[in-house]
Amino acid sequence: MGPRSSIGAVGRGVAAALATLLIGGGAAAQEPIRIGTFLSVTGPASFLGDPELKTLELYVERLNAAGGVLGRKLQLIAYDDAGDAEKARTFAKRLLEQDKVDALVGGSTTGTTMAVVPLAEGASVPFVSLAGAVVIVEPVKKWVFKTPHTDRMACEKIFVDMKSRGFTKAALISGSGGFDKSMRAECLKVAGQRGVEIVADETYGASDTDMTPQLTKIRASGAQAVLNAGFGQGPAIVTRNHRQVGLTQPLYQSHGVASKEYIKLSGPAAEGVRLPAAAVLVGDLLPADDVQKAVVVGYRDSYEGKYKSEISTFGGHAYDGLMLVVGAMKSAGSTDKAKVRDALEATKGYVGTGGVVNMSATDHMGLDLSAFRMLEVKNGTWALVP
């Protein structure tokens, strides 16, 4: 290699380095904030994941149209785990390692969430889960938060309502899914504290289509009310079978079926069923001075305006998850994962679709019992129980 070609080589090298710096440096300012999500858009939990994905897409678009966050655009990277915990793990790994997301907002079900918790903890990335079971935030994990109310809160709200109607003996019937099992365990734990005795404890399989044997046993147990802890098609079948075997004892469902889909599948048997749910379902029924009214009605109008289909509490949880992360980034002034995590933990007074959120180092959910409203099915739609 002669002197001329080596000067040429050095010159080319310097030019390349300068170009990379310029392009690289320029790109860093434009780099989008990456929000990763893995949701159960298809499969048995699709009524959770589908509105969640639609909500995230809608609001990422809106935030970007309003100028983005911290001067940068938001980029949503979404994968569908179809309700399978193994798939959720694989997609979360891809989000963390390949897509290098700044935060995770996802995990439609307890099963998929718990599969990803070790990954988020190991990668030190803030993870806001959209699933229900209390085990997600208890014991508190440094990087894991959740927006939906816990199953324990649902149990407590239901038991408080039962006591207020004079019922002290309740029957429990639950399915075999992660959420079902977790809620059943929580209800068994807190029933005594709330003055309710569990006199029957039946279970059914996830794809079972006939729960009349279990409900027949419950009929003979002396229960004054029935609590069905579950989600998916099981509760709809339990509701129908409950009517079929002639049970007159009131039926309570969990917040896992707080959607019109459940009412449609259960048919006329759903009349009189009570369940705890977020205020987002009954925006119109809220009094004008209710602290959540504006957020809830705003979410409903935006979602229904774009998608022409009814909202559900699950989409609302995704809205809260996204807004909490965005709020934390704004208050931390950066997307540094540790700073965002600290800001998330310090959230106080955030008014969301699920309730008013006040997080702390020991509480990574931030909701209390007032965030749940007791609803009853009347004439095929929701009514607020005062």
Chain residues binding another protein by CB under 8 A are 42-43, 46-47, 176, 202-205, 207, 209-214, 216-217, 220, 233, 236-237, 240, 243-246, 261, 264-265, 267-269
What is the DSSP track for 294-351?
HHHHHHHHHHHHHH-S---HHHHHHHHHHHHHHHHHHHHTS--HHHHHHHHHT--SEE
Minimum CB separation from another protein for residue 215, in Å?
9
Minimum CB separation from another protein for residue 31, in Å?
35
Q: Which is nearer to another protein, 201 or 376 (CB)?
A: 201
Q: Which is nearer to another protein, 32 or 43 (CB)?
A: 43
Q: How many CB atoms lie within 10 A of CB 46?
A: 19
Distance, CA of 354 to CA of 147 (rounded, Å) = 7
Closest CA to 371 of 299, 291, 308, 315: 291
Minimum CB separation from another protein for residue 44, in Å?
8
Q: Which residues lie below 8 Å from residue 117, measured CB to CB, with a gap of 6+? A: 127, 136, 141, 144
Q: Is the dihedral of CA 284, 288, 294, 296 positive or negative?
A: negative
38: three-class secondary structure by DSSP: strand
Q: Which is nearer to another protein, 184 or 317 (CB)?
A: 184
Q: Which residues lie below 8 Å from residue 321, measured CB to CB, with a gap of 6+? A: 105, 128, 129, 130, 147
Minimum CB separation from another protein for residue 214, in Å?
5
Minimum CB separation from another protein for residue 233, in Å?
5
Minimum CB separation from another protein for residue 138, in Å?
25
Distance, CA of 280 to CA of 36 (rounded, Å) = 25
Q: Give me the count of residues in the chain.
A: 386
Q: Which is nearer to another protein, 38 or 350 (CB)?
A: 38
Token pair of 291, please? 């602290």
Minimum CB separation from another protein for residue 209, in Å?
3
Q: Which is nearer to another protein, 264 or 330 (CB)?
A: 264
Q: Which is nearer to another protein, 170 or 367 (CB)?
A: 170
Q: Which is nearer to another protein, 207 or 381 (CB)?
A: 207
Closest CA to 53 of 269, 239, 223, 306: 306
The answer to whether the CB of 224 falls within 8 A of the CB of 198 is no
Q: Which is nearer to another protein, 265 or 351 (CB)?
A: 265
Q: Which is nearer to another protein, 310 or 363 (CB)?
A: 310
Token pair of 236, please? 């709809």
Report, in angstroms and rounded to the nearest whole number, the Rg of the chain calculated over CA atoms. 24
Minimum CB separation from another protein for residue 109, in Å?
15
Helical H segments across 192-246, by residue range: 212-219, 234-244
Minimum CB separation from another protein for residue 232, in Å?
8
Minimum CB separation from another protein for residue 62, in Å?
27
Q: Which is nearer to another protein, 55 or 233 (CB)?
A: 233
Distance, CA of 132 to CA of 110 (rounded, Å) = 6
180-200 as b/e: b if 16+ CB within 10 A: bbbbbbbbeebbeebebebeb
